[in-house]
Amino acid sequence: MPSEENKERIIRVVEFGRVVLHYGWIPFIIYVGYTRSNPQPSLIKLVSPLA
């Protein structure tokens, strides 16, 4: 069993990872899709529902 201090640290790391995932997941998919797509789409097509 980890000590109290380590537990606190683990919880902080998990919470930080959760926040990163919350704000970064969708941009990450869009980045991966945008760079790997063939042919590469234009940015306006990516975000606007109408274009």
The distance of closest approach from Cβ of residue 13 to another protein in the complex, given in angstroms and rounded to an integer, is 9
By residue count, the chain amounts to 51
Number of residues forming the site for another protein (CB under 8 A): 26
| Chain centre to alpha carbon of residue 6 | 26
Does residue 7 interact with another protein by CB under 8 A?
Answer: yes
Site for another protein in 17-36 (CB under 8 A): 18, 21-22, 25-26, 28-30, 32-34, 36
Does residue 43 interact with another protein by CB under 8 A?
Answer: no
Which pair of tokens denotes residue 46?
């990516």
The contacts of residue 2 (CB under 8 Å, 6+ apart) are 10
